[in-house]
A and B are shown apart, each in its own frame.
Chain A
């Protein structure tokens, strides 16, 4: 017998009201504004924009506030927001070689042309919670000759290519480098085998925690038998160019923060290839170094599907080498939705489980409250 049950509207309404009250917290404490989040919680904002797959600082800041700082929930809000907007078109692929970098480091060349620019990073902080008032950073130092901004830093990848060290520069093989692509995960389902274009998009909007854990598994021996190296990590501002159809010519519509990463790892001469370095690439919205690095490690491991496949089963040996495993599970909105749907009523499904167990001979007398 199936009995539809209705109810709980009042409780839901009150719960919504209560979460609003809880979010506001103690009213004696001043309320924060999206502007404060935008300017003072910038890295959280960047993460929400990257995983929300929408570069919109105001929307991300509002989402973080509305989600009480729960970044995954904020990502969900941003994703929902983007579905309400019309798409005007597709930009010209941004040129990261022209981007104005405010941070650029390389783990393989000390004297990299343009220098190692540390920029703003927590890497060299003591990781101690600061007590006392924050130091005043507004004072400027003595007048010095004005340095120029690093606009066109030479790329480490080019240095490696010039020296013939890249064993298979994947992009060099592509038929039309730099042209816009029609492939877009938001307009087509993810099917396997998957192109690198879709793989990079899935990784760029994937959950940072999942990508980080997966990349870590590679490094710990579940997929990488060799130490990877950071070829280059660059954080900067790039210009987005777009040709509005109603205008007919290209205009610059704004600048966005991006993090770009190139990882290299040694590839011995096998499989008919010369010895050299394999590369992996990461590019994400905002300053998201952990994620860009994880993305490039995974881009590499997922591109080697054939090489990594087990001869008998034709399956990747490790999870982080399996495109289907990584790309189908890296989206935070999808994964949190599916895990959290378990909170919804499953009374009838569960009832069927009870019926099954009882049918197997375990038919103790029903106890009170079981049939609800």
Chain B
């Protein structure tokens, strides 16, 4: 669900267009933008306090009249929420699960790995290495 929530909407759209058979779905909750209050902890571990809200969009769909899919994605892109909910439903259906895992989900995982690796590389280069100068003797 996190992968779908953080995916770029183009990737979801492409995967949707690439589905072998068209999938009809009905909205149980139409895409709706709202907020979630984000809390932190005083001193990192203590009492909770409100930092501020974040914008999210939620959506719930039903496919094949029985399987429900849900998504809550950051931001206010309704298409993103709709597609994420749809794929959440499809991933629960065996006929769709395996092909999607090897295409869409693997693709999203690869992208996420690449992002993390790029960040790790950038960050590692800026870690300070101290050295001590020996004086005297």
Interface pair B35/A240, CB less than 8 Å apart: no
Residues of A within 8 A of B120 (CB): 146-149
Interface pair B40/A93, CB less than 8 Å apart: yes
- B51 to chain A minimum Cβ distance, whole angstroms, is 5
Interface pair B36/A178, CB less than 8 Å apart: no
Interface pair B44/A184, CB less than 8 Å apart: no
Residue of A nearest to B51 (CB): A204
Interface pair A54/B55, CB less than 8 Å apart: yes
Interface mask (B13-55 → A, CB under 8 Å = 1, otherwise 0): 0000000000000000100111111111111111111111111
Complexed CA–CA distance, A239 and B1 (Å): 13
Residue of B nearest to A253 (CB): B72
- B23 to chain A minimum Cβ distance, whole angstroms, is 21
Interface pair A240/B33, CB less than 8 Å apart: no
Interface size class of B (residues with CB under 8 A): 35 or more
Complexed CA–CA distance, A273 and B39 (Å): 31
Residues of A within 8 A of B34 (CB): 85-88
Of A55, A94, A169, A283, the residue contacting B53 (CB under 8 A) is: A55
Query: In this assembly, does B73 line the interface, its C-beta being within 8 Å of a C-beta of chain A?
Result: yes
Query: In this assembly, does B95 line the interface, its C-beta being within 8 Å of a C-beta of chain A?
Result: no
Residues of B within 8 A of A147 (CB): 120-121, 123-124
Interface pair A181/B47, CB less than 8 Å apart: yes
Complexed CA–CA distance, A200 and B39 (Å): 11
Complexed CA–CA distance, A97 and B48 (Å): 14
- A132 to chain B minimum Cβ distance, whole angstroms, is 24
Identify the interface centre among A53, A55, A240, A258: most chain B CB within 10 Å of its CB. Answer: A55
Interface mask (A112-135 → B, CB under 8 Å = 1, otherwise 0): 000111111000000000000000
Residues of B within 8 A of A92 (CB): 39
Of B1, B6, B40, B128, the residue contacting A115 (CB under 8 A) is: B128
Identify the interface centre among B34, B36, B119: most chain A CB within 10 Å of its CB. Answer: B36
Residue of B nearest to A200 (CB): B49
Interface mask (A139-159 → B, CB under 8 Å = 1, otherwise 0): 011001011111000010100
Interface pair A157/B123, CB less than 8 Å apart: no
Interface pair B42/A178, CB less than 8 Å apart: no
B residues apposed to A, CB below 8 Å: 1-2, 5-6, 29, 32-56, 58, 60, 70, 72-76, 116-117, 119-128, 130
A residues apposed to B, CB below 8 Å: 49-50, 52-59, 82, 85-97, 100-103, 110-111, 115-120, 140-141, 144, 146-150, 155, 157, 169-172, 174, 176-181, 183-186, 196-198, 200-201, 204-205, 239-240, 242, 244, 246-247, 251-256, 258, 260, 262, 279, 281, 283-285
8 cross-chain CB contacts under 8 A: A88-B36, A97-B44, A115-B127, A169-B43, A170-B43, A204-B50, A244-B72, A254-B2
